[in-house]
Chains A and B, each alone.
Chain A
């Protein structure tokens, strides 16, 4: 009686397992077919909706990146060959993966470079970009990072935020000072005092 029960359970388990397998196979197939369907449908309808219209292609930028990635690929191939090749008598050492990837990157960059030749002529569309504002913020971020350890968290964060607020939009100094002070002191207090974390404190 007991053995029969176990046999019965076993049988049910096997049937269940097979069902699962079939179910999963069908599911995989369905996903795949569904995906193809999606692809076909969207290719038909996408033009009607016209949201993803604008092609953003910059010939010069793509040329430069193509060359840069080409060089990176070459660099990785050359440098990988210097890695001590063998590991534990296995024929597959630590150098194979980067070499293969380096070759792939070189091939892809060449493909990108040839594609830039086919780009239609760029429209001379002057974008209104504000690099001056960004430049100031980026430089202050670099200074912030560089001075974080010598000057401590609160002081550097305060000044960085103050500069950032005022550069993005000139406004009330008082409000900027209050928000910058509240943020830098608040983060420092919560993190160091309450959560026992460590941040560079104040210069001694």
Chain B
């Protein structure tokens, strides 16, 4: 079967009525998550895992996994659409990848062009979504074929590269990011060792035998951490929402933003594919590129539509691109994709090269559903922009306690014990304290997900080589990965030593 046939099969999965419904709710909730302050794509996806788990409990394992991942991915890219709304109308980005959008978007809103800015960002997001999906479709087969040829040594080095890339770009201090990564890997060793069956660091506590539950930690660190931060650091002024005004962009707007949208999509896609460099970096970068390319750069910051179109396309392109390493190699490149990977593992679906042969229903169903979901978002966002603008006015008073209640409900519904709830609250505190002091939590979650796999591959490689560590250096592919990993950490360090500030990816 060729790619097109697989894709058509994927569409037959994605067009089943329950999956259409899942995709619809995914993108709808995602847009709301992007709009609401205090809840970002990472916590949104983490919070919805338990809910999808209960919704899909009646289905057979394969279709349950497909439906669940369709919904969760919908939340992920839906949030990219929604994030722009608050940037433009309120000058407060709903999530970090829309920070740059606020620069010109809010200015446009002040000039009464909010509707045009919102619809251009929806159109840009749509184009970027489709571009990155075409890329994903074309690259899926060759990349997974390549990854299939890797042995344990190569896999170990590749995962190490993934971790280094994420910690190299997360936060201002690489030391802190590395500490979080290593800490996450250590937490991953708690529980029954699945090679030898020996229990490690469990101290006869029955709750620890299966290890720290990834879901609990992720919901605690991201969702609760964010809510706690909003409660503590919230400013109490009420900001005014700008009126949306006329929705359709003018012909001139369309003409001005076509090229930035195309450039932003491509740039975003390629940045998204790189591990570690997520949507925030992509949007940032495309803004800089547009400013550089523009004939009159002084327009930027004063309501240039290019400054809205390019970053909004880029962040959506990046979120599509980020699915590539996750699906084809099983290496998540960011916090959100790490959570998606954790969700797939919960359904006994291992992302990676075998995903496309073992679970074509899941892999291609997801890809096809993303085409549909992007179309839904475009259709939803153009007329409903005013409705979503209303969502911003949800009072924090009701929102924050309800998010806490949903976190607790979600964890309890999946885990059925108070131990995990206690762990959840502790992780919430940790998430707040750590991210407040610039310790990035995304690498920790990534390490927690990748930890068992890194260890297994390392031990399989070492067992095959009789404990000889040079096996990681003698395989050329593995050596290349390790060198890149080293450079990834080393170059920013060098640049910092030269006194240059380095852009970091705050979304993770």
Contact = CB atoms under 8 A, between A and B. Distances in A.
Contact of A98 (B186, B288, B395, B492): B186
Contact of B421 (A111, A130, A145, A165): A145
Interface string B435-456: 0111100000000000000010
A1 interface: no
Contact of B502 (A31, A43, A142, A168): A43
B405 A108 contact: no
Contacts of A183: 402, 405
Contacts of B384: none
Given A94-B196, A115-B173, A168-B397, A24 B404 contact: no
Given A55-B172, A108-B182, A144 B408 contact: yes
A51 B103 CA distance: 10
Contacts of B142: 20, 23-24
Contacts of A111: 175
A98 B503 contact: no
A157 B412 contact: no
Contacts of A24: 142-143, 146
A156 to B, nearest CB: 9
B288 to A, nearest CB: 5
A92 B196 CA distance: 10
Contacts of B462: 90-92
Nearest to A95: B200
A67 B243 CA distance: 51
A6 interface: no
A134 interface: yes
Contacts of B466: 91
Contact of A97 (B438, B458, B492): B458
A131 B232 contact: yes
A66 to B, nearest CB: 9
Nearest to A31: B274
Taking residues whose C-beta sits less than 8 angstroms from the other chain, chain B's interface range is 35 or more
Contact of B492 (A39, A49, A141, A195): A39
Contacts of B17: none
A117 to B, nearest CB: 13
Contacts of A8: none
B183 A105 contact: yes
Contact of B437 (A31, A52, A65): A65
Interface in B279-330: 281, 284-285, 288
Interface string B24-56: 000000000000000000000000000000110
A191 B436 CA distance: 35
Nearest to B416: A198
B495 A101 contact: no
Contact of A43 (B201, B281, B455, B501): B501
Contact of B185 (A79, A101, A196): A101
Nearest to A160: B405
B398 A165 contact: yes
Contact of A72 (B186, B193, B233, B421): B186
A122 B413 CA distance: 45
A42 B179 contact: no
Given A23-B142, A58-B437, A69-B183, A195 B54 contact: yes
A199 interface: yes
Interface in B370-412: 395-398, 400-402, 404-405, 408-409, 412
B11 to A, nearest CB: 25
Contacts of A203: none
A120 interface: no
Contacts of B495: 39, 43
Contacts of B172: 55-56
A94 B195 contact: yes
19 contacts: A43-B495, A49-B284, A65-B437, A72-B186, A90-B467, A94-B193, A104-B182, A105-B179, A108-B178, A115-B173, A129-B232, A133-B231, A137-B401, A160-B401, A163-B401, A187-B405, A197-B413, A198-B416, A199-B412
Interface of A: 20-21, 23-24, 31-32, 34-36, 38-39, 41-43, 45-47, 49, 51-52, 55-58, 61-62, 65, 69, 72, 76, 79-80, 83-84, 87-88, 90-94, 96-98, 101-102, 104-105, 108-109, 111-112, 115, 127, 129-131, 133-134, 137-138, 141-142, 144-146, 148-149, 153, 157, 160-161, 163-165, 168-169, 171, 179, 183-184, 187, 191, 195-199
Given A84-B198, A197-B413, 20 more contacts: A23-B142, A24-B146, A43-B501, A46-B501, A47-B501, A49-B288, A51-B99, A51-B284, A62-B437, A65-B439, A91-B467, A97-B459, A105-B183, A108-B175, A145-B418, A164-B400, A165-B397, A168-B231, A168-B396, A187-B409
